[in-house]
Structures are given as structure tokens and as C-alpha cells.
Amino acid sequence: MLNVLLPALGGVLGVPSGHRAPRPDQGPERRASAAPWHWLKLALDEVDYGLVIVVQPGRVVHMNHVARAELDGEHPLRMAGEHLQTRWSGDEGPVRDALADAAQRDRRCMLAIGQGTGRVSIAVVPLPAADVGEVGATLLMFSKRQVCQQLSVEGFARCHGLTAAETQVLKALCAGVTPNEAAKCLGVRLSTVRTQVGSIRAKTGAQSIRDLMQQVARLPPLVSALRTQAAADRRPAPRLDA
């Protein structure tokens, strides 16, 4: 399965389609060419969107650490063995049809599944096979649970020389609270928060709080280096060479 799936994904990301992942029993020269696939999997783990790659009929062949963490919780999708299933029966039909359309008709779509506050959006994107006779796959991309990763916000704050107090205010704003709510959470006066917001805007060049939030929303992800072991402790990743 590795030699079938990864050429398709590699083609999307710019890895030559003729490149094949070497087997462990091959010589050191061939094994050395496994590095691109190793880097590719690590790169997917640095993305702050949940990413799941499936082949029909819904068998998971790879997922990144965000997806593993979310599927362990109350996400509308869940793992059943090696297969992806819906948690609610009402979502089964739309998900099944979207996967079939991606695999058979090369159609991409956006789904909204789940119930109440647990409702999420999922992009379903076909990954065509690299060569004739090979099997394509489908990529599921989960909506984010937060505007930006905490480490990204902290990195942004350091880049712009924000103080520790200003960084805490920025984190509060990124969590969706108002300046008044931020003042209560941080135990300071509203006037203090307003002064800090003004300082943040001056240092970042933001014209308004909305402009500031747009800057933060556009930040590249910077995820914790500790998350890999934490995710592995929760659930072993599906094998790519199955």
C-alpha cells in the first residue's frame, strides 16, 4: 500500500511520481531514499489541521497528530479498527457519498457533520493515482478548533517585542474574549487591558483588533514538539505499509 498511496500524495506535494519507497531488505542506497517519505510524514504532523488519508471504503492509511488527537475525543468521526466511521447515524450517508464522489468522480466538497457545539466542517479532497493502474486516495481535512496554535501566538509576540502581560492579553483575544472579559480573567482593570491592546496594535502595525486577529489567523502553525509522543501514547498511528 505504501508504494501505491505515497506516489499519489507525493505527486500533490511535488515528490517525483516515479519515486518509490524502498523496502527494509534493500541496500543502504535504496533505504536512504526513504528519507523523503519520512520527512513527508513529519511535515504533515506540523500542520495544525487534522489530516486523514483514506482509501475506499474508508480504510485509514495515514493521519497526522492533530487528527489522532481529535478522533480520540468527541469528534463526529471515529476510528473503528482501521476504518473511519461516523459517530452519528445521520452523518453516515453524507460522508459515504462524499468519499465515493471523491474516489470515483474526482469531486471535492465541504461537509458539516456532528451535532450542536460539536459540529465541524470537513473538506473532502481526491488524491488521484500517480500512474495508470495504481490506486488513488482521499484526503479529509478537519476544521480547526482554535484561531491559532499557542506557540504561534507566542512566537508572533516575541517577533514584535510584546511584553509578557501583552502576550497574555493577545492570547485572551485569540480565545475570542472581549477586552472586558480579558480584564476579568487576568485580574486587571479594563483600562489596563485597553492600554495593552493599544501597545500591541502599535508594535504590530494593526489598525484595529479585527486587523490584529487577521494577522494572527494568517500565522503559520508552530506546534509543540512534545505532541508527537502524547499522540502516540493515546493511539498508535495506522501503518502506511499495510
Measured between alpha carbons, how far is 194 from 182 in angstroms, rounded to an integer? 10
Residue type, 160: H
Clarify whether residues 158 and 102 are in a common domain.
no
**Cα-to-chain-centroid distance, residue 63:** 9
Which CATH number fits the domain that encloses residue 101?
A: 3.30.450.20
Residue 241 lies in a domain: no
Clarify whether residues 123 and 158 are in a common domain.
no
Residue 61 lies in a domain: yes
Q: Are 63 and 51 in contact (CB under 8 A)?
A: yes
Which CATH number fits the domain that encloses residue 202?
A: 1.10.10.10
Query: pTM for the full model?
Result: 0.72
Residue 39 lies in a domain: yes
Task: Show the domain range for 200.
Answer: 150-217
The ranges of the chain with pLDDT < 70 are 1-33, 226-242
Clarify whether residues 26 and 139 are in a common domain.
yes
